[in-house]
Amino acid sequence: MSPFRWDVLVVGFVLAVPVFALGLRGDLSLEEMMTRVLWCLAAGWAVVAVLRLATAPPAPTVKKPTGALAGPAEQAASGEPSPAV
């Protein structure tokens, strides 16, 4: 997953709003602010990755035919004789 996807950038910048506010207020220098903004973008990437993993649909399972629904090839492979007709 690219770190420059739109959802990653949106979440990262939402997380960075308090950092921008502290920078504008003068509590953080420009270097400190940019370092923390990069960490916010990394946290946004992690959040989106976890959410995508949690909301991914499960892989479809393939069911094998059993018993009476099995064809002659499956019955012959199992070693059981077919019933008399």
| pLDDT at residue number 43 | 93
Classify the phi-psi angles of 26: left when phi > 0, otherwise alpha if psi is within -120 to 50, otherwise beta. left
Q: What DSSP string describes 53-81? A: HHHSPPPPPPPPP-GGGS-HHHHHHHTPP
pLDDT in tens, 8-42: 889 999 999 999 999 999 999 999 999 999 999 99
- Spatial distance between the Cα atoms of 65 and 23, rounded to a whole number of angstroms: 65
Query: In which element (H, E) is residue 52 found?
Result: helix 30-55
**What residue ranges do the domains of the chain occupy?**
1-54
